[in-house]
Structure formats: structure tokens, C-alpha cells
Amino acid sequence: MWWTSPIWSRCAWRNCPTNDKQGIQRAISRRHIALIYAGGTVGMTKTARGYAPMDNFDAALATLLDGQGERLPRYTLHAYADPIDSSNATPADWLRIGSDIAARYHEYDGFVVLHGTDTMAYTAAALSFMLQGLRKPVIVTGSQIPLDAARSDAARNLVGALTLAASDDINEVALFFDTRLLRGNRSTKASAARMAAFDSPNYPWLAEAGIDMMFNRGALLPRPAREAFALPAAYPGMVLSLRFVPGMPLAALQALLALRPDALILECYGAGNAPDRDPVLLDLLARASADGTAVVACSQSPHGRVAIGTYAAGAGMGAAGVAGAADMTFEATYAKLHHLLALGLDAAAIRDRFVVSLSGEVTA
């Protein structure tokens, strides 16, 4: 893992000297956190038909956490009656979670969202765009193994997320998993098998949990003067994606464009390269842009940034109206396009606004 100008320290609670662990614990225990259980593996149990939501999640959670006493902040559980399997999550589910946080924002000192891992990074990115200007922590977490199973990672993730949600120095949507605190809109699921399931390839970790919780203060968003929430009434746009592979027929792109998407993400090679041997491809993209589809290019490579025109093979896309996603993750790109469309922006305005950072999702 690489770090950019890190300024590390242990204490993230105001008026607590870094060596005053008792003072830190007292500060934590006075906080009140909203624990929103939206769904996911953390609240499932093994059945004859596979994993399914457990009936007594609140009791299992209390058994796990209540023994911690004052080592954790006080929490109130808000459990969805219809837990979301994250592979079924939609933008409407992002809006439901974001609206729940906004409605309870002044009642709590911080928020923890329990979510399934498959689309956790999408939800974290979407929440960061809805809840701009946060002055409290919103920590998204879950687990690879159900809470009631042997070797579950739920306790470690929950305890870490609740502790971080009581911090004064986190003013953004973050994702905590295993030992890593990541910016929510910089995170991506990196493993379906390891406990350290998430990483942020193009941005340093915000904190790492070891013997102490070590914060990378230079990576954290500064505390804003005021909130600037931007929750849409709905997500009406259609965002599709196409991954370039060697020998892909143009009929695949034509079929997607026939659906008349509001935005199209091209998953390109390297720094934003696409096959340009057939001029029809660039003509299709140019016509799509002219017809009102916002077309953006991201990279299939997790590290690095898109710079359209670095190679001749990608130079024509800029002229065709394709915007580069710079160093945004695919998840942030997808959620941001939905957000900009929900604001009512047309394709030209989206191209202009797309690489402007809203919540630290892209490097200027």
C-alpha cells in the first residue's frame, strides 16, 4: 500500500491527548450512533436452501456487541424489515438509505450502514454524492461470513465501524472492512475470498486498525462549514456499460445504443484506449454523444488514471465527445453518472461536470 504525504496519529476525538486512552474511551461511550441494517451477509444464517436473512438479527447483534460496555458508543438499531441482498440492490435502494440518514441526521453523532459486500462500494459512492458536506461520519461495513457463523469477521468490522462512527475527524462517507478505513467513493471490492475484501487502488487508506487506530490525516476530507446534501427525488436515468475485449463486434455497441441510454461507460484498456481500426466505432460514439448520451471512458486497470489521447488508439474518442473518468473507480463512475442525471443535467453539462470532484472521488 502506498501513501501520499501521510500525517499519522492515533487520536481522532477532540480534547483527548494521544496518550489518554481512558479519555478516548469516555469520549466514545458518550456518542450515540445510528446502526442501519440494510441487509447483506452479516445478518444471514445458513438454511437448507443456502444463506437467508436470520429472524433474530437484533438479538444476535446485542449478544455480539453489548458485552463491549463503554468501549463502544451507544447505538440504536434501525433494521429494514426487507433486508436487501446486495446483488439485487438498485439506485432506489441507495436513495432509501441516504434518505434514512438525512432524516435522522440531527438525532445521532454518526452512522453505520450494514450492507452486503457485492455492491457495497456502489452504495458507498452514491451516499457520498447524496450526502455532500457531511460533518459526521457515515461508515459502511458488513462481513464476508455471517454474524452467527464460526470464524465470522462481523465482530471485527462492526466494532471498528462503530468506533470510527464516534470520531470527530471523519466528515465523509467511508468504508471500513477488516483493518482498512477507505474513502467510500474510492473503494472497490478486491476479493471474494479474503477477509480484506476492499481496497482503494488510487487513493491512500484513511486509517488502519492495528494495536491502535492509526489515522492518515492528510487523506481525510476537511470538516466543511456546512452540509450540502443533494438527495434526488428519484434516479430516472439509464446508465449502461460496455467492456472492450479483443475482437468485440460493433454489433454489441450498436445493441446498447439502441436502448438509448442516458449515459454509457466504456471500460477501456490501459489509459483509456479503444480499438480504432474500424472508424465506424468512433462514428457510433460521436452520434450517441450528439443524440444526448453522456459517454465516459474508464480503465479496466484498477491502478492509474484515464488520459484520453495518450496513445493514438484513444485519441479519436475525445473528438467523439467521450469524457475520461481520470482515476475514479468504476463504482464511483456509475454512481456519479446516476447522480448527475438525477440533477437534470444534459450530456454536455455532464461532460463538463464529470471530472469535477464532488466528494473527493477524483484527483483534480
CB 133 within 8 A of CB 227: yes
| Cell, residue 300 | 479496466
pLDDT at 8: 47
Rg (CA), the chain: 21
pLDDT at 311: 66
d(CA 248, CA 144): 35
* Pairing mode of beta strands 188-189, 323-324: unpaired
pLDDT at 20: 56
CB 127 within 8 A of CB 136: no
* Pairing mode of beta strands 180-183, 207-209: antiparallel
Per-residue pLDDT tens digits of the chain, which is 364 residues long: 333 334 445 555 444 545 556 656 666 778 999 999 999 999 998 887 878 888 889 999 999 888 776 789 999 999 999 999 999 999 999 999 999 999 999 999 999 999 999 999 999 999 999 999 999 999 999 999 999 888 999 999 999 999 999 999 999 999 999 999 999 999 999 999 999 999 999 999 999 999 999 999 999 999 999 999 999 999 999 999 999 999 999 999 999 999 999 999 999 999 888 887 788 999 999 999 999 999 999 999 999 999 886 666 567 888 899 999 999 999 999 999 999 999 999 999 999 999 999 999 999 8
CB 120 within 8 A of CB 147: no
The pTM of this model reads 0.92
Known catalytic residues? 41
Which residues are within 8 A (CB) of 312 and not within 5 positions of it... i.e. 6 or more apart? 276
CB 188 within 8 A of CB 208: no
pLDDT at 71: 83
Beta strands in 6-49 (DSSP E): 8-9, 32-37, 44-47
CB 358 within 8 A of CB 132: yes
CB 31 within 8 A of CB 73: yes
Q: Grid coordinates 452512522 are at which residue?
A: 111
> In Å, what is the CA distance from 189 to each residue of 85, 116, 144, 184, 195?
16, 11, 11, 11, 11
- Chain centroid to Cα 41, Å, comes to 17
Q: Which residues pair with 174 in a beta bridge?
A: 139, 183
* Equal fold, 8-219 vs 239-353: yes
pLDDT at 23: 55
pLDDT at 21: 61
Which residues are within 8 A (CB) of 250 and not within 5 positions of it... i.e. 6 or more apart? 278, 280, 281, 284
Q: Looking at the domain 8-219, which fold is it?
A: Rossmann fold (3.40.50)
pLDDT at 3: 37
d(CA 288, CA 295): 8
pLDDT at 334: 98
Q: Looking at the domain 239-353, which fold is it?
A: Rossmann fold (3.40.50)
Beta strands in 134-255 (DSSP E): 138-141, 173-177, 180-183, 188-189, 198-199, 207-209, 213-216, 239-243
Q: How many CA atoms lie within 13 A of 289 on its CB side?
A: 22
Which residues are within 8 A (CB) of 125 and not within 5 positions of it... i.e. 6 or more apart? 184, 185, 187, 329, 331, 332, 334, 335, 336, 361
What are the sequence ranges of the domains in the chain? 8-219, 239-353
| Cell, residue 7 | 500525517
